[in-house]
Amino acid sequence: MSNSVYDKEYEFLLVDKVGTDGRVGRLTLNRPDKMNALSQGLLFELNDALHRLEADYETRVIILRGAGRTFSAGYDLTPARGEGADAVIADHKMVDDQGRRLVMGIRTGMQQITDIHMYFWNMAKVTIAQIHGYALAGGCELAMMADLVVAADDAQLGHPGNRFGTSRTGVIWPLVMGMRATKELYYTGSSVSGERAEELGMINHAWPKDELEERTIDYADNLANLTSDHLAALKQNMNRFYENMGIYSSVRSSTEYDAFSAFTGQAYAWQDKMAEAKESGEGLKAALAWRDGPYNDYRARNQKAKD
């Protein structure tokens, strides 16, 4: 039986080859009914596929995209038990004997998810995130870990999760954008279009949505003119500069703050609102409306588009 990642079936992920002689591997986040929300199951499958692709010499470049109408709307906020973004791989105790959440348990679970992000960032393959629709919160964190990022010019990139927590990776914006834009987006949780993201240096290119697929493949295929081992050497050489700038310590620190932020007044208000929405039957949409209402964005923008 073949051990190729291209022959393996995943529940939440699609894998195929594109480009000249199939030298570009493509991973598709495949939970379109959930806007490709990052459940633990999806992230574990992604981690497995990335390891398998890294070992495949014929795969020179990897594209990561989302199925359906968006790249990813973020971490799954309404997961099945044990499937959340702060769930842990190992059997760490998340609560004490009175059922109270423990910060080190939350921190450990978050760090283990961060390990997947950091593997994506440092794996010995050149990677491209292809964004359409939304790349929000955890979805934006994941996209930013790619070597290169392209997006539809009308895509939306941002981290609304900062309105009740922080970004566990800082979406590495301080390394790719100027301080003023980084702080504005981080403090407000607002998003920017693909076109604006290109202007800010958050992404490499913003293209018309109907051209995104073809242009991304051409972009990847052009990079794939070099062999995978040579590209890996170039990537690792470049990544050392960012390691010396402190990317590992900064991302680890961001994850610590994300765990600690679960105990702020804002976080408690969010948790109360989530509990109220669940009990009343209003669901997640009501909690998100509470979160985003004062900023008049995200859901207000969606409603305006429908009208």
- List the domain range (segments joined by +) for residue 210: 5-263
Strand 156-158 versus strand 126-131 pairing type = unpaired
Question: Helices (DSSP H) in 80-193: which residue ranges?
Answer: 103-122, 138-144, 173-176, 179-188
152 class by beta-carbon count within 10 Å (0-12 exposed, 13-18 middle, 19+ buried): buried
| Bridge partners of residue 128, in order along the sequence | 63, 148
For residue range 6-27, what is the model confidence (pLDDT) as tens digits?
999 999 999 999 999 999 999 9
pLDDT at 304: 47
Question: How far is it, in rounded angstroms, from Cα 274 to Cα 272?
Answer: 5
Angle at 104 between CA 284 and CA 79, to 5 degrees: 25
For residue 270, being part of any structural domain is answered with no
Question: How far is it, in rounded angstroms, from Cα 31 to Cα 297?
Answer: 24
pLDDT at 49: 98
Tokens of residue 175, six digits: 């390394």
Question: Helices (DSSP H) in 147-264: which residue ranges?
Answer: 173-176, 179-188, 194-200, 209-223, 228-244, 247-260
pLDDT at 80: 53
Terminal Cα-to-Cα distance of the chain (whole angstroms): 53
Provide the residue type at 156 as one letter.
Q
pLDDT averaged over every residue in the chain: 90
Model-level pTM? Answer: 0.90
For residue 268, being part of any structural domain is answered with no
For residue 20, being part of any structural domain is answered with yes
For residue 165, the domain's CATH number is: 3.90.226.10
Q: What is the 3-state secondary structure (H, E, C) of 73-110?
A: CCECCCCCCCCCCCCCCCCCCCECCCCCECHHHHHHHH
For residue 273, being part of any structural domain is answered with no
For residue 86, being part of any structural domain is answered with yes
pLDDT at 100: 80
3-state secondary structure of 120: helix
In this prediction, the residues of the chain whose per-residue pLDDT falls under 50 are: 1, 84-91, 303-307
For residue 279, being part of any structural domain is answered with no
Question: How far is it, in rounded angstroms, from Cα 212 to Cα 200?
Answer: 19
**Residue carrying the six token digits 């170039």:** 234
Q: Are 32 and 67 in contact (CB under 8 A)?
A: yes
For residue 290, being part of any structural domain is answered with no
For residue 297, being part of any structural domain is answered with no
The total of structural domains in the chain comes to 1
pLDDT at 90: 40
